[in-house]
Amino acid sequence: MHGKLKPKGSALTRLHVRVRSPHATLGRLVAGGVDMAAAIGRSGLTALKREGDGASPRGRLRIVGGFYRPDRFRVRPRSGVPLLPLRPDDGWCDDAADRNYNRPVRRPYPKSHEAMWRDDHAYDVVLVLDFNLRPRIRGGGSAIFFHLARADFGPTAGCLALSRADMLKLLPRLSTRTFIVFG
């Protein structure tokens, strides 16, 4: 993170994801006058998101809630966004033909889904973005999250990811009124 978040104590209403080209997978997240390294989808940014394309959606997405791994934090992380504790059986459906497409599910689940309880620490803190939630378009993309980056800042499957340190500094300044502008 370069700089300090300002003004202290107030919620941030808008964050910006900047990339050098539409196909870049590494960019910068600009928040409250500070910019920080951010990973995005392996296919860069797209205006026409589809399930499994590996791209992050262009546009303005609101943070609607989030989760954290209670076994990886002594106390719930300080956050302006309500964070629910993840459970080992939490999943997120990515089967476009299923009635629970792009919704949380309990595992084991008979249709294709993503495990939210992961060994790689990516979802130790994970915020849900309002992409393709209401209305849901089948095949229009699912599980677009704001989560923790891998150590090498490798690309995501379409999400936005920050270092753990940057995410924990930013969380108290975020709310369900915060928008992230991609592109």
Residues comprising the chain, all counted: 183
Confidence of residue 157 (pLDDT cuts 50, 70, 90): very high
pLDDT greater than 60 at residue 118? yes
pLDDT digits (tens, 9 = 90+) for 67-110: 999 999 999 999 999 999 999 999 999 999 999 999 999 999 99
Q: How many CB atoms lie within 10 A of CB 13?
A: 12
**Domains in the chain, CATH or no CATH each:** 14-182 (2.40.440)
Confidence of residue 3 (pLDDT cuts 50, 70, 90): low
pLDDT digits (tens, 9 = 90+) for 29-62: 999 999 999 999 999 999 999 999 999 999 999 9
Burial class of residue 135, CB neighbours in 10 A (0-12, 13-18, 19+): exposed
Burial class of residue 150, CB neighbours in 10 A (0-12, 13-18, 19+): middle
pLDDT greater than 70 at residue 4? no
